[in-house]
Every structure is written in structure tokens, then in C-alpha cells.
Structure 1
Amino acid sequence: MAARATVGVSLKMYFGHREAREWFARVAELAARHPAVVNGSVELFVIPTYLQIGAALEAFQGTRTIVGAQDAAAEDSGAFTGEVSPAELAEVGVGVVEIGHAERRRLFGETDEVVRAKTAAALRNGLRPVLCIGEVDQVDAAEAATRTVAQLRDALDGAPAGPLIVAYEPVWAIGAPQPAPVPHIRTVTLALREAAAERPGTSVIYGGSAGPGLLSELGDAVDGLFLGRFAHDVDNLVLVLDEAAEHAGGTR
């Protein structure tokens, strides 16, 4: 059964190794018993730190949960001290890789050119990019749609074929008390979905202070949510998965 809703969680660098393993164990137990995750109607992916990937792969073995990486190099191998190869990530069993997050751009100076190269590297190695797209400043929805579609097209320029997860995260809403307004999100995600239509299997999800109730409000404009610290509490993750299950029953 093809997934009809997608829920992702990035742990960033919040958990130490022991804390992460404990969280993996709880989420793996949830994934093994949640009907919508078990039957594949809801796709769940988890993105830990690099050092936690092995433990995550072990914990989620036997479930449908996809383990991801928070970044990957633009090159497959070579003299790139400190980088992590997308080819090696694929080799060990990673399925998705986060690319172009606003923090990578702001803290580490990643440019559109870097994002384009990393997107191509992920796709050529069979990894599904979780491509983070979003306007920096708060502008009206039509302008935000124009800017984000341009970002998406630029990131995919020259990239190999393959599906991806487009994560719409307006930079001004990341870590904010509330997500972006629902009409704003819908305008942007519908534009992104149309722009990504040429890549079958692509999902468009929303991140940026996302939580329960939002997916129902967004309706058919999105395929799911990208969660951050909210999902550190597994009970909160349950609420979103339950909502995603309902969403999967009514989308498309």
C-alpha cells in the first residue's frame, strides 16, 4: 500500500546517545503497533545525528520507519575531511537525507549552489532528499509561493530522476510560538506540489512549529508534517500519527 501521508522528525543535536536510544525504543514500539504505520498508509521517517544512525537502524529494524541523515556531502568519496558520503549513507541503510535546512544556510554558509549539488548527490545514490524550502522574511503568500517554487526548481536543476520530500519551512516560522497561518501554508504548498508534479512519488510536507490539529486544517494542500522538538515527547508524536492516519483516509 502506498503511503498517503508522511510524518518526519528531525532530532537535530538535542539528544545525547543514551537519550536518543531510549527515544528510538519508544518510537519503534509505537511504529510496530500503530495501524497506519504498520499498513503503510502513513510513512514515518526519523532523522537522528550521524553518530545515532547505527542505533536508529538497529532500533527500527522490522518496522516501516525510515532512518535519515541530517546532511550529506556533495561528493561520493575523496579527500573531504569531516564530510559524510551519500554513497556510504545509502550503503548502511539510510533512506532519506535532509538538504538545505535554514540552519545549514545560516550557520554554515550553504548556498543555492551547494544545495543543488547535494540534492543531485542524494538522488544519484538512491537517497530521497528531504529538501527544505522556505522564504526568509515574512511576505504575502503569493510572493512566498513564487520564491519557494524558484528555490525548488533551482535545487532540482540538473538533478537525476527520483522522488523527494519537499519540506516547506518558512524560516520566520521555525521555532516560533505558532506555525505560519493556514491560508499562507496552503497557497505555498499547493504551488510547490504543482511544481514537483513531474517527479512521481514526491511528497510536500510542512515544518515550522508544526503540531496537532494543523494537518487537519491544511487538508489536501499537504501530504504531512515535519516535526522538531514537539516530537521529543512520544505522546505528542502519537497525536500527529493519529491525525495523519485520518488525513491519509481522505487525501488524493
Structure 2
Amino acid sequence: MDDTAPRRRLIGLSTKMYFSLQRTREFTNSFLAKLADVPAERLSHIDIFVIPDFISLTTTIAQLESSSVPIWAGAQNCHWEDQGAFTGEVSPSVLRSAGVKLVEVGHAERRRIFGEDDAKIAKKAAAVSRNGMMPLVCIGEETRGDVHVAVDECRVQVDAVMSAVPDEQEVILAYEPVWAIGASQPAGEKHILDVVAGIRELESVRRRTGMTRVLYGGSAGPGLYERLKSGLDGLFLGRFGHDPEQFVRTIQEVAGA
């Protein structure tokens, strides 16, 4: 793929398991009201997504449909099979039929707490893509250190996913250094840009004909994207974005950077 071709910027957030059902409804309503005050033309060149918990998902999708600006609904996880005896799991086929546009897989918490390895994450990414959705794959090194070490750690994660997803399908990579998740400050801008440049140079990424967008997602907040716009396609917000006003403010920063 010609990596000089323009890629639409992308910004969104996950509510993880922080919100009650009522708070998710209130957050979405407040976010939509504040976003409606932003001129649509200013948002015409970016994609926006919201990833709520599973119980809130269909309600959130219905709320997002009222927006004059297209907003994608995402899911926080899925199984790698479309159906079967997998009690408690969520089918990617069902997510697609519900109106989900992208599915997050491979978050550091899923890897650490639930023991998901690269092979399992690759199967999930393939299932997401197979069902006509975009996999948003979280990648990142465990410990703070050298850029080359970070790229090598990410390489294993990226190669596994890219070997499972057809080259022509879009993939979103969310670079989240594990040591920066939940931290008071994100990783240094030079570190982020150097690691992302290394990720883009990976053979498994360069050979693809489908779009590969790269976001930053480790303690991301206002003012950060202006310093990262030369190498990043957008931001994946965590708790900072749980304030609707701050979320919309950061969307405008990404749109206008």
C-alpha cells in the first residue's frame, strides 16, 4: 500500500467497566449534545468511535444513530467463533448484526488478567474482519526502555494479527505502552513517534494493501495529538475521555491539528 496516501484521522474511547447503565446513557447524551455544537465541516475528515460495555451496547448504538455526524459503535471484545457452545462469550456475527463497526481486541488487561496470547488475539481479529468489522488491536511493550526493544515486542504482536487478517482488510493498531496505561503522563513524544515509525516499517504492515491506521492510547489527553500528528492517525482515549466535554475538546484538537 502507498503509505503516503492520506488516511482519515480516528479518535474514540472505551468506557471499560467504569460506567453504570444509567451513566452510559447520560454520557452518550451529553457527548452528542456537545458534539452537535461543533460545525459538521470541522469533523468531516475524521472518524469517531465509542466503545461501551456489552449491556449498554445496543442502547448506545440507538443513541449514536441520532447524531448528524457519523459515530461508530465499537465492542470491547468478542469470541473467535461466530456461534457455538461458548457460554458467556459474545459472537462477532451478533455484534455485526447489532450495528457494531469495530471491535477492540488484545488490550493489555485482556492479555494480563485473562491470559490472552497473541495466537488467540489473532483469531479474534480474523473473526472481526471476517464479519465485516474493523479489528482495533491493542499492542505495546511491557516495560519502559529502548525503542528497538519496544518495536521488537510489538513486532510479535503485529505479525500474529497480520498473518490472520486478509491483507486487503483494514486494521487499526492502538499503540499503548503497557507501562503508560493509567499513568499520570503518556510516554514521551519522541518515544511514541519512533516506535510507531518502526511499527509502520514492519514487513507485515508494509506489504498490506488494506489501510492500517495507528493510534496512540496510553494516558492520552488534550494537547497530545498536536505533538504526535506527524506520525499518528489519532488517539484512543481512556478515562480522560469519560468527561464528555474533554472528549469533544480532544476530538476537535485531532480534527484541527
TM-score in terms of structure 2 length: 0.91
- Which structure's residues are more often helix, by fraction? 1
Separation (CA, whole Å) in 2 of partners of 1:16 and 1:245: 30
Correspondence for 2:190: 183
- Secondary structure of 1:162's counterpart equals coil
2:197–2:231 Cα contact (<8 Å) kept: yes
Which residue number corresponds to residue 104 of structure 2? 98
* Pairwise CA distance, 1:215: 0.5
In the TM superposition, residue 36 of structure 1 has moved relative to its aligned partner by 5.5
Preserved contact between residue 49 and residue 71 of structure 2 (Cα < 8 Å): yes
Q: How many residues are treated as equivalent by the alignment?
A: 246
Q: Give the conservation status (yes or no) of the 8 Å contact 1:164–1:201.
A: yes
Moved more, 158-167 or 20-29: 158-167
Pick the aligned partner of 1:7 from 8, 11, 36: 11
Judged with a 3 Å threshold, the aligned counterparts in structure 2 of structure 1 residues 80 and 210 are, in CA distance, closer, same or farther, namely same
Query: Structure 2 unaligned runs (5+)?
Result: 1-5
Could you say if the C-alpha distance between residues 57 and 7 of structure 1 is closer, same or farther in structure 2, counting changes exceeding 3 Å?
A: same
Distance 1:37 1:184, change over 3 A: farther
Give the structure 2 partner of residue 171 of structure 1: 178
Q: Which of 234, 240, 249 matches 1:224?
A: 234
- Residue identity matched to 1:177: S
Aligned to 2:47: 43
C-alpha displacement of 1:30: 3.3
Aligned with 1:192 (options 186, 196, 199): 199
Structure 1 residues 62, 156: CA separation in 2 closer, same or farther (over 3 Å shift)? same
**Regions of 4+ moved over 4 Å:** 36-39
Q: Which amino acid aligns with 2:64?
A: F
SS state of the match for residue 114, structure 1? Answer: helix
Matched, 1:115 2:89: no
Contact 1:31 / 1:65 at 8 angstroms: preserved in 2? no
1:67-216 alignment runs, 5 A limit: 67-160=73-166, 161-195=168-202, 196-197=205-206, 198-216=208-226
* SS of 1:157 mapped into structure 2: helix
Displacement of 1:38? 6.9
Distance 2:49 2:247 in 1: 12
Report the TM-score when normalising by structure 1: 0.92
